[in-house]
């Protein structure tokens, strides 16, 4: 098989990670218009000011507690609930964020930003269909909500609905022909469709529009690699690293590209750099754990996977991987506990095939535990 055909065969793997997260919703929590000057009104104003101060100082848990007090005083103010949703999402508490945004939407259903923020939170929980529906409601309310179209495109791509995803990106470009993000995602989609040559034009346009964006250079590098041009691919990666030397996300993407190319040592080094630059990057911790498992080092993998479960407590794969590593170390009770958690989360996501797989492992481990 030629190098070029090998590159093409791997191209869907190369971009499985390129369709990154979504643009973070804005913080929305403003003081209400107060007609009277009751003690509750004055207290509400004080709480909102203090909450904003805590946000500005970075003390998000304190800010959430304060805004929840404000919500008790004014349960009809959608922006208070939106503010709580934003802060919960900022801490990775997406289930709580969903509940807060749903409350805000119940009070103000025609607010496109609330719908977008709900979609963002649902997407981070893996509820793609519900997230797409929320993004679509946002664009129905505001047909020029470009971030909602981009969000739709990312999720539609994850669902394999490539034509619909492409239409979403084209909608963005119809409103904003100089939107570099849309061109970048369009290029990533074309690579995922095994059309890397077609991806070069939108990606090069994205690079011209946003010459200081390292992520775009990573996607462009993936396209070059996919058509067998290692020189241009590496040059793009090097530009990305120069542009954003402390960008952990770029190191993560480079690691995945090296992994897809079968260059495991380079991939591992990139993953390690990503975890050094951003220890709370769950996907990088998972990748480091996977590498250790391949190297028959489950003890080191357990350390990485425990961090993964801490960072992504709603991801069943985190507990599944941890369970496998614990099983390999013959730490049976701990492995059972991890697999039980994985099973519960898979059930919540209606992934029956994974539930059956975990049940089989649990049956084996429980039988072993009794015999011991």
**Secondary structure (H, E, C), 202-248:** HHHHHHHHCCCCHHHHHHHHHHHHHCCCHHHHHHHHHHHHHHCCCCH
- At 56 the pLDDT is 82
94: three-class secondary structure by DSSP: helix
- Are 191 and 14 contacting, i.e. CB atoms less than 8 angstroms apart? yes
Task: Kindly state the tokens that stand for 171.
Answer: 């909608």
Angle between helices 180-192 and 3-14 (to 10 degrees): 120
Within-domain flag for 316: yes
Rounded CA-CA distance 337/339 in Å is 6
Mean predicted confidence (pLDDT) in 230-257: 86
pLDDT on residue 39: 63
Q: If pLDDT is split at 50, 70 and 90, which confidence band does 58 have?
A: confident
Q: Do 72 and 51 contact (CB within 8 A), yes or no?
A: no
* Domain-embedded: residue 320: yes
Distance of CA 69 to the CA centre of its chain: 30
Distance CA 183, CA 167 (A): 12
pLDDT at 253: 79
- Dump pLDDT digits (tens) for 248-279: 888 887 888 788 778 899 899 999 999 999 99
The SS3 assignment for 39 reads helix
Residue 92 lies in a domain: no
Task: Give the pLDDT band (50/70/90) at residue 372.
Answer: low
- The share of the chain scoring above pLDDT 90, in percent, equals 59
pLDDT at 222: 86
CA-to-CA distance for 308 and 282, rounded, in angstroms? 5
Q: Residue 357 falls within a domain, yes or no?
A: yes
pLDDT, position 362: 92
User: CATH no. for residue 283?
Assistant: 1.25.40.10
Residues near 87 by beta carbon (within 8 Å), at least 6 away in sequence: 27, 55, 60, 63, 64, 67
Section 355-363 average pLDDT: 92
Does 299 reside within a domain? yes
3-state secondary structure of 142: coil
Place of tokens 């077609």: 198
Phi first, then psi: give them for residue 228, nearest 5 degrees: 90, 10
Q: Is the pLDDT of residue 196 over 90?
A: yes
**pLDDT for 183:** 97
Residue 289 lies in a domain: yes
Q: State the Cα–Cα distance between residues 233 and 228, nearest whole angstrom.
A: 9
Model confidence pLDDT, tens digit, residues 199-227: 999 999 999 999 999 989 989 998 998 89
Could you list the residue range(s) of the whole structural domain that residue 343 is in?
279-372
pLDDT class of 24 with cuts at 50, 70, 90: low
Does residue 352 belong to any structural domain of this protein?
A: yes
19 within 8 A of 158, measured Cβ to Cβ: yes
Per the structure, the count of domains in the chain is 1
pLDDT exceeds 90 at position 7: no
Phi and psi at 331, nearest 5°, equal -95, 75
Euclidean distance between CA atoms 102 and 87, whole angstroms: 14
Q: Does residue 369 sit within a domain? A: yes
Check residue 11 and give its pLDDT.
40
Instruction: Kindly report, residue by residue over 307-333, the tens digit of the pLDDT.
Output: 999 999 999 999 999 999 999 999 999
Average pLDDT value for residue range 130-152: 96
pLDDT reported for residue 371: 65
Q: Which two tokens stand for residue 105?
A: 């939407």
pLDDT of residue 21: 43
Per-residue confidence (pLDDT) for residue 250, from 0 to 100 = 84
Kindly report the pTM of this predicted structure.
0.69
Mean pLDDT, the chain, integer: 86
What is the model's pLDDT at position 231? 85
pLDDT at residue 228 tops 90: no
Supply the DSSP string of 280-342, one letter for each residue.
T-HHHHHHHHHHHHHTT-HHHHHHHHHHHHHH-TT-HHHHHHHHHHHHHTT-HHHHHHHHHHH
């Amino acid at each position: 098989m030629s190098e070029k055909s090998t590159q093409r065969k791997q191209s869907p793997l190369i971009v499985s990670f390129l369709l990154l997260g979504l643009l973070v919703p804005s913080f929305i929590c403003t003081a209400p218009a107060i007609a009277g000057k009751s003690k509750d009104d004055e207290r509400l104003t004080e709480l909102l000011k203090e909450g904003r101060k805590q946000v500005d100082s970075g003390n998000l848990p304190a800010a959430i507690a304060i805004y929840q007090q404000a919500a008790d005083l004014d349960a009809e103010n959608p922006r208070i609930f939106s503010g709580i949703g934003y802060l919960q999402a900022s801490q990775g508490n997406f289930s709580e964020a969903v509940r807060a945004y749903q409350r805000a939407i119940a009070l103000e259903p025609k607010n496109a930003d609330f719908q977008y923020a709900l979609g963002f939170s649902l997407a981070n929980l893996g509820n793609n269909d519900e997230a797409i529906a929320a993004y679509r409601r946002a664009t129905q309310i505001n047909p020029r909500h470009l971030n909602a179209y981009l969000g739709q495109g990312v999720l539609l791509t994850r669902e394999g609905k490539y034509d619909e995803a492409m239409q979403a990106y084209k909608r963005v470009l119809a409103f904003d022909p100089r939107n570099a993000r849309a061109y970048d995602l369009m290029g990533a989609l074309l690579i995922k469709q095994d059309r890397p040559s077609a991806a070069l034009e939108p990606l090069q346009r994205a690079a011209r529009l946003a010459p200081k964006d390292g992520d775009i250079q990573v996607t462009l590098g993936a396209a070059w690699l996919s058509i067998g041009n290692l020189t241009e691919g590496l040059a793009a990666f090097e530009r990305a690293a120069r542009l954003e030397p402390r960008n952990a996300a770029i190191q993560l993407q480079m690691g995945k590209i090296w992994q897809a190319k079968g260059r495991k040592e380079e991939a591992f080094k990139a993953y390690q750099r990503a975890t050094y630059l951003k220890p709370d990057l769950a996907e990088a911790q998972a990748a480091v754990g996977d590498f250790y498992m391949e190297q028959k080092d489950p003890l080191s993998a357990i350390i990485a996977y425990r961090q993964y479960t801490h960072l992504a407590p709603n991801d069943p794969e985190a507990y599944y991987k941890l369970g496998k590593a614990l099983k390999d170390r013959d730490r049976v009770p701990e492995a059972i506990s991890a697999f039980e958690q994985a099973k519960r989360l898979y059930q919540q996501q209606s992934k029956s095939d994974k539930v059956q797989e975990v049940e089989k492992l649990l049956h084996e481990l429980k039988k072993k535990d009794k015999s011991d």
